[in-house]
Chains A and B, each alone.
Chain A
């Protein structure tokens, strides 16, 4: 086992462990902070797979904005920082769905990329990702931006409908 594989393994364990802690932690704020550790460890995994661009964007967007948004929403809706997470009956259904999705995605990855070697190849630079995004994947990219636009308009409609009434 090479050093890179060892570091990757450690980061993967950290990511999975902190994800578990984020789900089982009693306080919502702690869950959000454990999520930061998970996302950071996943970014580290991306770096080891030479996908540096994805890694830094992951930190910039997810740690820097999405987690802050989560914490902000938490602060606005609950009065104290010591609120505990409510357990609803949907918990086990959500867990089952999560496991199914993880197995499905994992199986797809293994089936599609087993035996691929990234050693010595720079597949994750900004240039190569830009090339791929605007040649092979331009249609999914455009559809995604359409979905985001729809979400944006939906958010505006929902937030305005209260004040008009």
Chain B
């Protein structure tokens, strides 16, 4: 009975994190981006610095009519937002937050193969955008879908290679094990892997500067063109949840997770702080860099990131064997 209650409580906590953390990242995007562009961002909703802006957005989305275009492939079109969103919830189950006041590790479910579980879940999420592109019956969506597929195939390899390098160094595929095995000098030895992982993750989430599939100046909104109301909101939520999952994975793999002063008690706070920092970098990248052209996107993956990731794996092999 106690075990069942424990599992239920953990699931509820993960669900709570899934419903709040992406909104916090979204609000951070509103405000941080605004200040970087010499604006103030939302100020009215909720009173204090527009803190309730995303809640207001959510209420607006709920009220909108749900429209399915006549030319759309109905079931594929309607299923796509769920396929995009749910995998990130599943991925969050396996990401550890670290020791919680000496009460053991704060994690949904400690998996033997957590790293592969999260990577597999992330790769399913992109299928949702692809389904949206295929099923909308709109040529802009279709071109966007092709770009999604090309981008996904290019960036999957460097991402997995970079993650494999850390797993090799730690000698385990368990995310808790990797974070426990982490040592500060890995920041230097795994730096190329960190860069490759972060950049490939940005591309996998189709975040700027890798948003060629959405490219509002060329393709209206790419695969999301025909979506409105709740379905569009689900795609938006999936994007922010994706940022949280990417930031969490980067933190646990490359930044030592809960490593920091008093980590036995405050480990979870360190992890959350690092996740917030990485999320901020994701937002900063959007403001700082212009969108890459479609051929540049693929050239970067195959000519820079894959060789860099292979070099990182070689370096790790030498370090581990030596």
Asked whether any CB of chain A lies closer than 8 Å to the CB of B135, the reply is: yes
Q: Which residues of B contact A52 (CB under 8 A)?
A: 111-113
Asked whether any CB of chain B lies closer than 8 Å to the CB of A33, the reply is: yes
How many B residues face the partner with a CB closer than 8 A? 29
Q: Which residues of A contact B124 (CB under 8 A)?
A: 59, 63-64
- Compute how far the CA of A72 lies from the CA of B111 in the bound complex, rounded to whole angstroms: 33
- Are B127 and A63 within 8 A (Cβ)? yes
Chain A positions 34-93 with a Cβ under 8 Å from a chain B Cβ: 36, 52-53, 56-57, 59-60, 63-65, 67-69, 71-72, 75-76, 81-82
Dominant secondary structure at the B interface = helix
- Are B73 and A56 within 8 A (Cβ)? no
Chain B positions 128-152 with a Cβ under 8 Å from a chain A Cβ: 130-131, 134-135, 137, 142, 145-146, 149-150, 152
A72-B149 contact given A29-B73, A60-B120, A63-B127, CB 8 Å threshold: yes
Asked whether any CB of chain B lies closer than 8 Å to the CB of A138, the reply is: no
- Compute how far the CA of A68 lies from the CA of B147 in the bound complex, rounded to whole angstroms: 11
Number of cross-chain contacts by CB at 8 Å:
80
- Are B116 and A68 within 8 A (Cβ)? no
A68-B130 contact given A56-B117, A81-B73, CB 8 Å threshold: yes
- Are B116 and A71 within 8 A (Cβ)? no
- Are A59 and B76 within 8 A (Cβ)? no
Q: Which residues of A contact B117 (CB under 8 A)?
A: 56
Chain B positions 150-202 with a Cβ under 8 Å from a chain A Cβ: 150, 152-153, 156, 160, 173
Chain B positions 11-41 with a Cβ under 8 Å from a chain A Cβ: none
Asked whether any CB of chain A lies closer than 8 Å to the CB of B263, the reply is: no
- Are A68 and B153 within 8 A (Cβ)? yes
14 interchain pairs, CB-CB under 8 A: A27-B73, A36-B127, A56-B113, A56-B116, A56-B117, A59-B123, A59-B124, A64-B123, A64-B127, A68-B130, A68-B149, A72-B146, A72-B153, A126-B112
> B: which residues have CB within 8 A of A?
73, 76, 111-113, 116-117, 119-121, 123-124, 126-127, 130-131, 134-135, 137, 142, 145-146, 149-150, 152-153, 156, 160, 173
Sample of 15 further A-B pairs with CB below 8 A, known A68-B152, A71-B134: A36-B127, A52-B113, A56-B117, A59-B120, A63-B127, A64-B156, A65-B123, A65-B156, A69-B149, A71-B130, A72-B149, A75-B146, A75-B149, A126-B112, A126-B173
